[in-house]
Amino acid sequence: MAKLNQIIAVEKGVKSKSFHELTEAHHAVQKPALLSGISRSYQPKDEEGEQLPPESTKVQTRAEDVLRQVGVGLTKLFDVTASKDATNCVARADVVVDERVLLSDVPVTYLLFLEKQLTDLHTFVKKLPVLDAAESWVFNDSADCWSTEPVRTIRTKKVPRNHVKAEATEKHPAQVEVYYEDIAIGYWTTVKFSGALPAKRVAELLERVEKLQQAVKFAREEANNTEVTDRSTGDKVFGYLFR
């Protein structure tokens, strides 16, 4: 008895072959020259007239034959797909993470859905914002986010000062040079806030997603090992369509 994974493996090839055959059949019946034939003979008006050989062209494509070939080719595809879909209805497995059943008796079609969603979630989690490692962060309950310890810095102001280079004399005024001095006038107290996540938290989330991804893949393989429920629908379909 075939397994579901074997049916899935051959379905693509059967589908490709039947599509190719259907395309060829479509092109064949669109060529009037292949569907047409003729037979004609020549008889001169009298015995002394020119004798010409008969001419004939055989019909190369018969539409009924093409229909029959299409029916045969597509019957296999219809049967394979029907068997796959019927088996998908009964193929199930448990999703087990860390030796614990997280999801039980999951249909294989839902397992395929989970695989796709977990791939997208992995990309999402991997790109989550991470707290700046250059800062020390603690969770601030009142702000409901992460914050740093307060950092106090001095605010300064440049104040002009005079430097007398030469005292005034009776003949010359004093020589004064103006310079600026930074004078403390206050203090800034800064606290940084962030809604990002600690790197450890992101790593834990990624590990969980990857564990579940692996568990879902194992479950899918187990479900795909289900024996195929054979379905023969092609003969009925094409027995009705092309009879």
| Amino acid identity at 5 | N
- Mean pLDDT per 10-residue run, the chain (243 residues)? 85 91 90 89 86 90 90 92 92 95 94 96 97 95 95 92 77 81 92 96 97 96 91 91 86
The amino acid that residue 71 corresponds to is G
Q: What does the angle CA 60 – CA 61 – CA 65 come to, to the nearest 5 degrees? A: 135
What confidence score (pLDDT) does residue 226 get? 92
User: How many CB atoms are located within 10 Å of the residue 24 CB?
Assistant: 13
Which residues make beta-bridge pairs with 181? 159
Q: Convert the pLDDT of each residue in 114-133 to its tens digit.
A: 999 999 999 999 999 999 99
pLDDT value of residue 119: 97
- pLDDT of 178 reads 83
Half-sphere exposure of 145 (CA within 13 A, CB side): 11
Question: What's the confidence (pLDDT) of residue 120?
Answer: 97
For 85-94, write each residue's pLDDT tens digit: 999 999 999 9
Question: What is the dihedral angle through the alpha carbons of 208, 211, 213, 214, rounded to the nearest 10 degrees?
Answer: 180
**What is the value of pTM for the model shown?**
0.69
